[in-house]
Amino acid sequence: MKTFEIGKTYYTRSICDYDCIIKVTVASRTAKTVKTTDGKSFRIAVWSDIEHIKPWGRGSMMPIIDATKTMIAA
């Protein structure tokens, strides 16, 4: 299973604007939640052996960040 790791930054792009990138950096985690460096906590969902979080809430056009898309440090 692909999981979120502490210290890594994960991202996705907005469905409406390709230039809008939504990023979260994992500060800590438990088996069911992820806490970001901004102090926000998100519940983890698992689909197809990949962990996902919804940083802007639930809705039809809201972004979903999965554990496979990490930012590459420059």
pLDDT at 8: 95
At 56, list the tokens. 């802007």
Query: CA–CA distance from 34 to each of 16, 19, 52, 70 (Å)?
Result: 26, 25, 10, 15
pLDDT at 74: 47
Element (H, E) at 46: strand 45-47
pLDDT at 67: 95
Q: Who's near 64: CB < 8 A, 6+ residues apart? A: 12, 52, 53, 54
pLDDT at 72: 74
Q: Look up the pTM and report it.
A: 0.88
pLDDT along the chain (74 residues), means of 10: 95 92 95 95 96 93 94 66
pLDDT at 71: 83
